[in-house]
Structure 1
Amino acid sequence: MSEWKQTACNLCYVNCGVEVQLGGEGEREIVKVRGDKAHPKSQGYICNKAARLDFYQNSAARLQHPLRRRQDGSFEQVSWETAIAEIAAKLQAIKEHHGGERIFYYGGGSQGNHLGGAYGSSTLGVLGVKYKGNALSQEKTGLAWVFSRMLGACPHAEIEKAQTVMFLGKNPFMSNGMNQARNFLRAIAKDASRTLIVIDPRRSETADYADIHLAVKPGRDAWCLAAIIGRIVQAETLPLAWLSEHTSGCEKVMAKFNAIPVAQYARFAGLEPEQVNEVAAVIARSTSFATEEDIGVQMAPHSTLVSYLNMLLSLLTGHFGRPGTLAIPVQLVDILPVDRFGELDENDKEVSRRQLPVTKAPIHSNMYPGNYLAEEILNDSDERPRAIVIESSNPVHSLAQADKLRRAIRSLECSVAIDIAMTETARECDYILPASTQYEKWEATYFPRNFPENYFHLRPPVIAPLPGTLPEAEIHARLVEALGYFADGELDELHEAAAAGIETYRDVFFNAVMGNPKIKKAISYVLYRTLGPTLPEGKATTAAVWGLCQVFAMTYPEYVAKAGFTGPAAATALFNTLLDSPSGAVIAVASHADTFKRVPFPDHKIRLVIGELFEELDELQRLRPLVDTSTEYPFALVAGSRRAYTANCAIRDPRWAKGKAATALTIHPDDAQRLNIPDGARVTLKTKGGQAEARVAYDERLHPGTLSVPNGQGMHFEDEAGKPVDSGVYANELTSSDHRDKFIGTPLHKFVPANIYISEA
């Protein structure tokens, strides 16, 4: 058995540092996993899921050579040379006949697999690709729009230091999604000086640790939050002097919430007014308050409005720019980009917004909403997409109405999947290019958003690449070259500079970028092919990170210096430190004192009013659910809940999940008994979008009237004998692409009207 090797988990966006021990034939199996105590944030912590990483690394679905679809729909193996040449020719022809904007892109790095996405940008730049989307654009772009309009930057909630913490639609005990989640929950539960508030229809495992659990009625979080804010405003407990100094729009907000009928809203949300009053009082008197939300509300009715109210709750009560509140971190890469909005009218509404050409769907944070993708393709418009490149992503499985997206992809003139496994999406594409896993190549974790210290984890491979696969850096480099973008000798000066040393290269590189517009469109490719070969053996794919370090050190010299990187060579020193730190390293240290200076608006003030959402608040007065159940569909289905053995789609083998009910459809016992459905029964789950067979399990934690199926299930998987393995409910065979947020287009997967019946024998 091998020595312990440092790397990271890829099963949630925290990407905890882990150590792995290898075994099996050729030491290609991950046989043991433990937490990496040297990691700056996880510090040895891992959850139960990380122990199962070998199910990702050694899946029977792994791709080992390029594939091309035949006329009959089956696939044939082709060489890398053939696949690259044909893909480049087809994409180039589409660019010449229809324009590069008719080539769409989706993906760019799954959990922990982010370095490949950096190299995809060169292929997109060369082709002139204009429209990009990924998983964030069906989850987090509503939140991004909110924080961009209010703060102009992506904040971090310092829950580790806050006196009062609130989780909204978030169950970190199961989903993690924060540093050392279970350690945090245990610690705050034991600390009598701190308060944990959980807002969730279900009595989640996280709610077990809470001081206050608001079991809000499903789909009515907006009324709950509006009532809490209304109570705080009406109790006249706001920090008026602070608001006057640091915010704009305070008077308008106060007038709006002074008119909120708190008790009425509370009852409509399924709560007693006294519960809302208690939460409001706790937040108002807290010395520090931090709140985090997750897809439990970001994929639920009023998702963007709820994100606004949640952010407003912190900012209106003055919990910004102090320890234990909201702060603006410094990141090497903004994985959730700030949304660049334009002019606002007199009502604080956007005058214009970039849109998709056919559906006119709004583009936020430079990403189109995924649930418009099939609709954008399936039409006769001359402006419809003609091709798509899908990388490290599985939208046919993760976006709503899977069958519609299948038809859309099949209708395109060219479709390409770059992935490690034969996914539901890859099955629909014309070409499939096999990538190496995150444990077979240099990789990076771009998600960390911490304060005041932030870190970055650049890590080496721990397993040799599977023969026949390539890292994304090489795949995209070959595509750029097949497209004939650079003339022979056009990059010779950079090759020569790299051979002379990294500091010589730096000056020549930036002069070349300024003098040759073509390089700007393919920066990652240029770095990989010119600087990459001169880096220590095997490290060529880290060249893009060298470029990021240069920009980062120039943008944030003060914060980089506080992390120990100073002088003209600070950026290169930072890069070398990352190369030599297999557990990751601190890259910048910010400060609370600078927080307001980093609000990028001319007056450095927080903007409390978002006109579009402010107007939407008036709709709440009607006391009508945005989405409701009916006689035909009397249940609210949570299509994709987090459980002990669910994660993203990285693990395809359903046998990784322990427990007899790991993939079951859950129902409250009272509902099941009313319908004479025994625990463990086989049922038919039906929605307007379709139906599926599932095994039932009772869950008394559920809010009555709700059903739940876990995320990441229903993927096609065959065992060693080629026999399909039951993998649970494929939730997006049941959802609808037009069941989405009116502002951003994020899907409302957490409230899908549904019904269940005992299946016929």
Structure 2
Amino acid sequence: MTIRTEQPSICRMCHAACPITVEMEDGKPIKVTGNKASPTYHAFCCSRGQASVEHINHPDRLLSSMKRQADGSFAPIGIEQAMDEIADKIKALIDANGPRSLAAYFGTYSGPYPAAPPMLGSLVASLGSPMIFASATIDQPGKDIANAMLGQWKAGPQAFADADVWLMLGGNPLVSIAGGIPSQNPARRLTDKLKDGMKLIVIDPRRSETAARAHIHLRPTPGEDSSLLAAMLHVIINESLYDAAFVADNVAGFAALAAAVEVFSPAFAAARADVPEQQIIDAARLFATAKRGVATGLTGANMSGHSSLVEYLMLCMNTLCGRFVRAGEAVANPGVLLPRATPVAEAVAPAAYANLGEKLRVRGLAQSASGMPTAALADEILLEGEGQVKALIINGGNPVAAWPDQEKTVAAMKALELLVHVDIKMSATAKLADYIIAPKVSFEVPTMSLAVEQLENFSYHWGLCEPFGMYAPALVEPPAGSDLIEEWEFYYGLAQRLDIGLFAYSLESKTATAREGRDFVMFDMVNKPTTDEVFEILSNRSRIPLTEVKQHPNGALFPEAIIAQARSQDCDARLDIGNTDMMAELATVQHETTGLAGYPYKLVCRRMKNAYNSSLRDLPKLVKTKRPYNPAFMHPDDLDELGVGEGENIVITSIHGEIIGIANADKTLKRGILSMAHAFGDVEQDDRNGSLFSNGSSTSRLVSTNDSYDRFSGMPRMSALPIKICKH
């Protein structure tokens, strides 16, 4: 007799952590839908989440860890033996080369499994290595850097729910489900706000799903975001549209910013960005004259060059217009599994944003406010001499597909003496590893909503827009006969063998937007904790105890009216909108040429519904009605001009490299643009042998990490890239 049940859980397919209902048949998951009984998300579950069952049952899933053999092939290895061997190799490498020879990399899929990142970070740090890298520095590093430059407002930014206007630059949250609009059912939230009268401004060269709903849609030439933002600031300042009282009381650097943007008149920016001058003026006026609402940037804004500057100019716009929670107003999310917010309507002075710790050996880079520069890690592996990275542990990532300059990345992975990759299948990077650790995934492990809540520390309007908390237990056992391990357990097992302790930072709330680690809690290295006990430690100062959150199987809202207090009498801190480094960089923009002779087109990045960076695009549920490859989208008139038909191959060339793409028409694009997703491709892929249809073309082959990089994060220009195109 077939037994069917429905169980609440949390989706693990991206950072949004949507509550879901898992339909079970004889104890096995067969279908996933949005959880109608859960608040905040309103039964939302995107197509990627609905493919969760295929993800856990992936036909290529590894059911045991693998070890590279002498002939290059792979053979299964028991997890205990793998941990023994890896620990011995790490110890030998550190003894011979020092702690810096070991590095760790956290990829996109570190987020949905909250116990793993602190364990791996603690493992590497406890061994004495500062070489801890993450995908954020090749995604949106400008956010953390710009926030440090500006300073912070202790009561946080105004909420989307209260906004009269909203400005988004370089993103499409209706597809990406990440940032810009709260990820808790972004389409519904945007629809509701537009019905309420909120005005939407979108800056994007493509008429994306989000841009199609905008009241003002500016379609600039890619790479001109900073000049366009500077022109909007020019209008706001010259027409005195800013909040003069807020600026006088809380802001420094006004004169420096005003001088820096003076040359960026709407006419000047319109000519550079190829947008109507009046549209720039209208957008600036609409944003500044509204009472509430913020400007926010996304991946496209950061990948198109001047990452830190673009994010900083948006913060300047928000600051000039005073778009922060004021004294007497409530904060939207007082914290659930995070500590209780203690909002105060006052500034925190700017913090250090560069040269914060370890200095790298290449391009003058060092740790910044966004972390260690991931775009330089391949160089640190390849550059011989003292300090060379010889061992790398990868959690939740796929560097061969995701890092800029794919050929250099492949060379770096091959040069390592020890590459350990935690992955569910033989991904592009796993194929180069010495050990592939097969983890338990999705419904095989418990999880909680802490990770998505912590995203508030990353940027405005990521994280949870309301005080929602949820815990989801494991629903199923791993497949029969498998030898799998939770990610955190693997790092814990290595630490035991290396005879070191592991720790988790104990969080203490100082503000609603910046919760800082004040001290740490050590894990018991003799009596192995359960996953739930690890969760208790990670949420040890939560406003709502995890035990209480667990009492609500569908998740729940935990409201508490926490009101921002007035500025203390002894506070003299100010938000800085005239940062010297940023004003100097802006001065170079006016003379910058973003085009390149002989390369008449621009490559821009985009998000796709059937992929999450390098993952998911091989799941039948996501590709059966969509393209399984990486389409090279162009305006139909551009394709006609090139004599290229739908589905035909084109040669795409930058000054750094060349790839083959499959042409697809997209009339939503501005002319002169080719739009493709990043994080495709395989090891040593020959784009001319037909594999581009199954593996997709890797745009990172067109990118050089040595050119046009942000001097603080090291992030190279990965979008708005000059290219030339011809028929193959």
Pick the aligned partner of 1:659 from 619, 625, 632: 625
Q: Give the Å deviation of 1:171.
A: 0.9
**1:182 maps to what in 2?**
187
Flag the 1:33–1:13 CA change in 2: closer, same or farther, 3 A.
same
Q: Give the Å deviation of 1:144.
A: 0.6
Matched, 1:649 2:626: no
Amino acid aligned to 1:289: G
Aligned positions of 1:200-599 closer than 5 A: 200-322=204-326, 330=335, 332=337, 352-359=355-362, 360-365=364-369, 367-445=371-449, 446-448=451-453, 449=456, 453-466=466-479, 467-485=482-500, 523-524=522-523, 526=525, 530=527, 532=529, 540-550=530-540, 552-553=541-542, 560=543, 565=544, 574-586=545-557, 589=560, 591=562, 593-594=564-565
Amino acid aligned to 1:682: N
Flag the 1:80–1:153 CA change in 2: closer, same or farther, 3 A.
farther
Amino acid aligned to 1:80: I
Pick the aligned partner of 1:727 from 695, 698, 707: 695
Q: Give the Å deviation of 1:274.
A: 0.9
Pick the aligned partner of 2:713 from 740, 744, 754: 744
Flag the 1:611–1:129 CA change in 2: closer, same or farther, 3 A.
same
Flag the 1:383–1:208 CA change in 2: closer, same or farther, 3 A.
same
Q: Give the Å deviation of 1:366.
A: 6.5
Single out whichever of 432-441 and 460-469 deviates more from structure 2: 460-469
Amino acid aligned to 1:11: M
**1:501 maps to what in 2?**
none
Matched, 1:78 2:72: no
Give CA-to-partner distance per residue, 1:260-289, whole Å, 9 cap, x none: 433212321212221111111112211112
Flag the 1:592–1:199 CA change in 2: closer, same or farther, 3 A.
farther
Flag the 1:654–1:18 CA change in 2: closer, same or farther, 3 A.
closer
**1:114 maps to what in 2?**
114
Q: 8 Å contact 1:122–1:525 — kept in the other structure?
A: no
Q: 8 Å contact 2:170–2:204 — kept in the other structure?
A: yes
**1:6 maps to what in 2?**
8
Q: Give the Å deviation of 1:581.
A: 3.3
Q: Give the Å deviation of 1:459.
A: 1.8
Q: Give the Å deviation of 1:576.
A: 0.6
Matched, 1:637 2:597: no
Q: Give the Å deviation of 1:609.
A: 2.7
Q: TM-score under structure 2 normalisation?
A: 0.85
Q: Whole-Å Cα distance in 2 between the matches of residues 481 and 708 of structure 1?
A: 48
Q: Give the Å deviation of 1:389.
A: 1.0
Q: Whole-Å Cα distance in 2 between the matches of residues 687 and 324 of structure 1?
A: 51
Aligned positions of 1:39-50 closer than 5 A: 39-50=38-49
Q: Give the Å deviation of 1:179.
A: 2.4
Q: TM-score under structure 1 normalisation?
A: 0.82
Flag the 1:349–1:725 CA change in 2: closer, same or farther, 3 A.
closer
**1:669 maps to what in 2?**
636
Q: 8 Å contact 1:107–1:390 — kept in the other structure?
A: yes
Amino acid aligned to 1:642: R
Give CA-to-partner distance per residue, 1:149-172, whole Å, 9 cap, x none: 223479556223200011111112
Give CA-to-partner distance per residue, 1:497-534, whole Å, 9 cap, x none: xxxxxxxxx9xxxxxxxxxxxxx9883454xx6473xx
Q: 8 Å contact 2:352–2:369 — kept in the other structure?
A: no
Flag the 1:451–1:643 CA change in 2: closer, same or farther, 3 A.
closer
Amino acid aligned to 1:174: V
Unaligned runs of 5+ in 1: 335-341, 492-505, 507-519, 533-539, 554-559, 566-573, 718-722
Flag the 1:590–1:674 CA change in 2: closer, same or farther, 3 A.
farther
Question: SS in structure 2 opposite 1:388?
Answer: strand
Amino acid aligned to 1:581: H
Q: Whole-Å Cα distance in 2 between the matches of residues 113 and 727 of structure 1?
A: 27
Amino acid aligned to 2:554: S
Q: Whole-Å Cα distance in 1 between the matches of residues 476 and 272 of structure 2?
A: 55
Q: Give the Å deviation of 1:46.
A: 2.1
Q: Give the Å deviation of 1:257.
A: 3.3
Q: Give the Å deviation of 1:352.
A: 4.6
Q: Whole-Å Cα distance in 2 between the matches of residues 332 and 311 of structure 1?
A: 28
Q: Whole-Å Cα distance in 2 between the matches of residues 480 and 617 of structure 1?
A: 47
Single out whichever of 149-158 and 641-650 deviates more from structure 2: 149-158
Give CA-to-partner distance per residue, 1:450-498, whole Å, 9 cap, x none: 5774334432112212321111232122111211337xxx99xxxxxxx
Matched, 1:700 2:671: no
Single out whichever of 65-74 and 731-740 deviates more from structure 2: 731-740
Q: Give the Å deviation of 1:591.
A: 4.0
Flag the 1:524–1:641 CA change in 2: closer, same or farther, 3 A.
farther
Flag the 1:350–1:15 CA change in 2: closer, same or farther, 3 A.
closer
Unaligned runs of 5+ in 2: 340-347, 457-462, 507-518, 685-690
Q: Give the Å deviation of 1:611.
A: 1.9
Q: Give the Å deviation of 1:143.
A: 0.7
**1:338 maps to what in 2?**
none
Q: 8 Å contact 2:116–2:488 — kept in the other structure?
A: yes
Q: 8 Å contact 2:400–2:683 — kept in the other structure?
A: no
Flag the 1:325–1:580 CA change in 2: closer, same or farther, 3 A.
closer
Amino acid aligned to 1:461: A
Flag the 1:60–1:714 CA change in 2: closer, same or farther, 3 A.
farther
Flag the 1:219–1:465 CA change in 2: closer, same or farther, 3 A.
same
Q: Whole-Å Cα distance in 2 between the matches of residues 651 and 586 of structure 1?
A: 31
Q: Give the Å deviation of 1:49.
A: 2.9
Q: Give the Å deviation of 1:606.
A: 2.2
Q: Whole-Å Cα distance in 1 between the matches of residues 174 and 486 of structure 2?
A: 34
Flag the 1:352–1:648 CA change in 2: closer, same or farther, 3 A.
closer
Give CA-to-partner distance per residue, 1:420-479, whole Å, 9 cap, x none: 222211211211111111221112341233577433443211221232111123212211
Q: Whole-Å Cα distance in 2 between the matches of residues 117 and 629 of structure 1?
A: 41
Q: Give the Å deviation of 1:646.
A: 2.5
Aligned pair count reads 677
Flag the 1:325–1:641 CA change in 2: closer, same or farther, 3 A.
farther
Flag the 1:548–1:128 CA change in 2: closer, same or farther, 3 A.
same
Q: Whole-Å Cα distance in 2 between the matches of residues 460 and 181 of structure 1?
A: 26
Q: Whole-Å Cα distance in 2 between the matches of residues 748 and 724 of structure 1?
A: 23
Q: Whole-Å Cα distance in 2 between the matches of residues 276 and 69 of structure 1?
A: 57
**2:135 maps to what in 1?**
135
**1:514 maps to what in 2?**
none
Q: 8 Å contact 2:603–2:721 — kept in the other structure?
A: yes
Pick the aligned partner of 2:20 from 18, 23, 28: 18
Q: Whole-Å Cα distance in 2 between the matches of residues 681 and 451 of structure 1?
A: 43
Q: 8 Å contact 1:66–1:77 — kept in the other structure?
A: yes
Flag the 1:697–1:645 CA change in 2: closer, same or farther, 3 A.
same
Q: Give the Å deviation of 1:314.
A: 0.8
Single out whichever of 408-417 and 40-49 deviates more from structure 2: 40-49
Q: Give the Å deviation of 1:382.
A: 0.9
Q: 8 Å contact 1:686–1:756 — kept in the other structure?
A: yes
Q: Give the Å deviation of 1:363.
A: 1.3
Q: Whole-Å Cα distance in 2 between the matches of residues 61 and 525 of structure 1?
A: 36
Flag the 1:689–1:260 CA change in 2: closer, same or farther, 3 A.
closer
Matched, 1:758 2:727: yes
Question: SS in structure 2 opposite 1:439?
Answer: helix
**2:146 maps to what in 1?**
146
